[in-house]
Structure 1
Amino acid sequence: MLSDRFRQDKDPEINMTPMLDVVFILLIFFIVSTNFVQQSAVEIHRPYASTATRVDGSPIIVTLDTTGRVYFESKEIDIYYLPGKLQQIVTQTPKIKLLIVADTNCPTGVTIKVLDIAKKAGISYSSVASESD
């Protein structure tokens, strides 16, 4: 009798439920912790320049639309708050670059003002984005 109790007539099974639970938890963790790159929601028509060159690295992007509104990191910001934001970034990353993505019809005065603010904040390399061949 005792020997019948320990005898296994059927094949051993592997329970997959705990493994599936772990896989789903890992999937949820990676979905929640992933940073998604957002393109700017502002439609910009960049000016054409035949001598345009690429900017290496990952610069700070300031976008200017046709009416001269300023967007910092894809969020509209008042131009008077821009110096504080740029100075804060410069203290954390001293050799950061600035890329201004200005619309073709953006007032030139706004673009010059943003370049001036960047220079005063301590950003030594600023450029304006353009279209090229």
Structure 2
Amino acid sequence: MQSRLQHRLEQQAPQGIDMSPLIDVVFILLIFFIVTTVFVRETGVEVDKPQAVSATTLEQSIILIAVTDSGEVIYDGSNIGIAGVRSVVSQAQQNGNQSSAAEGKPVVIQADRLVEAERLLAVIDEAKLAGAKHVSIAALKP
């Protein structure tokens, strides 16, 4: 009789908590948050934008080019110069998804308030020659 009782107690002994389902759930949540995160693409330089009353917010799928106060033209953290604007914009237009291919991605130029108008116009011209239909200049609301 005593051996039966001892045998039952051994069978009912706590086995421990199985951690594998918990780890699976944590990994699934991690994958979910990584996939659903929106990554904002910046130019990589800080630009002192001018103010404009008509400033509006644009969509996320834009081509962002910065022109610094020293005259550098920056795209994706690297200095491309005015000569590189056309190739960058045309390549980014081709890499866009098919639904917006007819319309094309808008180009937004973040120009410092001290940039010469001639330099800014040269960047706008290069973007338009690359096939950009909408070219805007970034500004802050007052």
Aligning the two structures, in what range does the TM-score lie when normalised by the shorter sequence?
0.7 to 0.9
1:55 offset after TM fit, Å?
A: 2.7
Deviation digits for residues 34-69 of structure 1, max 9, x if unmatched?
A: 775464442211112223233345311001110110
Q: CA separation of 1:6/1:74 partners in 2, compared to 1, >3 Å: closer, same or farther?
A: farther
Distance 2:33 2:58 in 1: 31
Match of 1:43 in 2: 46
Q: Aligned AA for 1:83? A: R
Map of 1:75 onto structure 2: 78
Structure 1 alignment gaps of length 5 or more: none
Partner amino acid, structure 2, of 1:107? E
1:55 corresponds to 2:58: yes
Further displaced range: 118-127 or 54-63: 54-63
The answer to whether 1:85 aligns with 2:62 is: no
Between the aligned partners of 2:50 and 2:112, the Cα distance in structure 1 is: 7
Counterpart-to-counterpart distance in 1, 2:27 and 2:106 = 39
Length, aligned pairs only: 132
Task: Measure the CA separation in 2 of the matches of 1:96 and 1:19.
Answer: 44
Relative distance call for 1:19 and 1:56 in structure 2 (3 A) is closer
Shift of the alpha carbon at 1:80? 1.9
Moved more, 11-20 or 30-39: 30-39
TM-score between the two structures when normalised by the length of structure 1: 0.74
Q: TM-score with structure 2 length normalisation?
A: 0.70
